[in-house]
Structure 1
């Protein structure tokens, strides 16, 4: 069983990767998933939720400390869901409640789809499930993704991120892109960024959920949207997911990365959602 521990980092060998994960707190099991975000990105939220939950965070395969045997292997939602499933078996815990955000929300949906017995509630916060959009929007987003990847691999980092933000319909303040992705940066940040564009972005945004399987699996799925995300691509995709599942969207404070920008407000809302409110 999971020990009563605070911020204990461990590693689990699963097929193709040594998975880095961190366990905090005690209580009902809650897993926080990102992609490309690593475990550190969720640390403030995890600390808050660990006051009344056992919280597990991970680096997804190929990112930061979760080193793959083949560093050029693509990361897909199915592979990441299998990693999380193996981690839950290893911990001998569950069923787990899961919050996934962005690409991590796609992982969480893939986990619920493939392993419904291991999951209680999935909070899918702004998953980029573009294949649930209409044909024209789907084609436009897939073409934009290929353009972003090609631009990045050609060496135009800022251009790739500019195209990414434009496709996501996320507006940044003037100069923010250069501050975030320009100049000298840590080698690990650059490596994780390259992995995202080269090996993670396409598989994440090309994944189409099996709505019939999700509905039949018995997992409670919450389609979460940030209050400040209106009009953004992940607002549209999450509403499409909610409509396909026959549920209403659930609003959270903040925008796409509110779990990091406002962890206190996000934690309050997450607790209420997990209680069914």
Structure 2
């Protein structure tokens, strides 16, 4: 379906399952197809393409706050008063903003390897940020065939199975018909800056919250986005946060894009729905 927002219409897909609806918000360089494997666990997921991504690629403008405002329009269009919200990576930061500013629309929150402050972000300067984003920007300055893009993703995300139909569908949705990657470099940079340098309101959360995090960041034995100790410190400080759930032997993307990661994430979603 298409949902009117400021500047255009968002594409929204509803995966029908056996549960109450969950609004599932994807990460910074992904799309609604990120949730394919989690949806396969008989969950009812409402999965929008955020502005600048997927079939919402022509909707201009960005920022975490604007994405959160868009999510309210999605809930309104589906006549959903309050739902459980899941956010993966950048989607977690959008979910936090949504839960703080529109608390009456969020009954519970599930953050998947995102949404809470990353220690690495606190150390970034603008120069370091620009250098870190250079490969993403370079990838958007060329065109890709689907096979070339799959090969690149297999290198970047070695734990995902690029022969699997659900994974292939997800990656195919990243490419525009002309072979350009979505989102654009400008959109990617604007959202990334907001995540890294923007204010975080996670301490203001007042809804029941679950946090799922990966053992690794990009491939086996890589340093995680969140350590076990960092996750425990969030739970100690934030009274609404349940005991964090570590998914062993998966990386950041693997939390939702591998069979093992999606199974744990779906189990935590079921707990939040309960």
RMSD: 3.4
Q: How far off its partner does 1:249 sit? A: 2.0
Give the aligned partner of residue 130 of structure 2.
Answer: 146
Give the aligned partner of residue 255 of structure 1.
Answer: 251
Q: What SS does the aligned partner of 1:48 have?
A: coil
Count of residue pairs brought into register by the alignment: 235
Q: What SS does the aligned partner of 2:67 have?
A: helix
Cα distance in structure 2, aligned partners of 1:156 and 1:121: 36
Question: Contact conserved, 1:98 with 1:121, CA < 8 A, in 2?
Answer: yes
Question: Contact conserved, 2:83 with 2:105, CA < 8 A, in 1?
Answer: yes
Counterparts of 1:1-277 in structure 2 under 5 Å? Answer: 10-26=1-17, 27-36=19-28, 37-50=30-43, 54-70=44-60, 73=61, 75-127=62-114, 129-130=116-117, 133=119, 138-140=122-124, 143-149=127-133, 153=137, 155=138, 176-177=155-156, 186-187=175-176, 190-195=180-185, 197-214=188-205, 218-228=206-216, 232-236=223-227, 241-246=234-239, 247=241, 248-252=243-247, 254-257=250-253, 258-262=255-259, 265-274=263-272
Cα distance in structure 2, aligned partners of 1:119 and 1:225: 21
Change (3 A) 1:108 1:69: closer
Cα distance in structure 2, aligned partners of 1:252 and 1:141: 30
Q: How far off its partner does 1:157 sit? A: 6.8
Q: How far off its partner does 1:223 sit? A: 1.9
Structure 2, unpaired ranges of 5+? 142-153, 163-173
Q: How far off its partner does 1:201 sit? A: 1.7
Instruction: Give the TM-score of the pair, scaled to structure 2.
Output: 0.71
Q: What SS does the aligned partner of 2:123 have?
A: helix
Change (3 A) 1:121 1:141: farther
Structure 1, unpaired ranges of 5+? 1-9, 159-174
Cα distance in structure 1, aligned partners of 2:234 and 2:59: 34
Cα distance in structure 2, aligned partners of 1:117 and 1:203: 24
Higher normalized strand content (fraction of residues): 1
Q: How far off its partner does 1:81 sit? A: 0.8
Cα distance in structure 2, aligned partners of 1:111 and 1:94: 13
Give the aligned partner of residue 7 of structure 1.
Answer: none
Higher normalized helix content (fraction of residues): 1
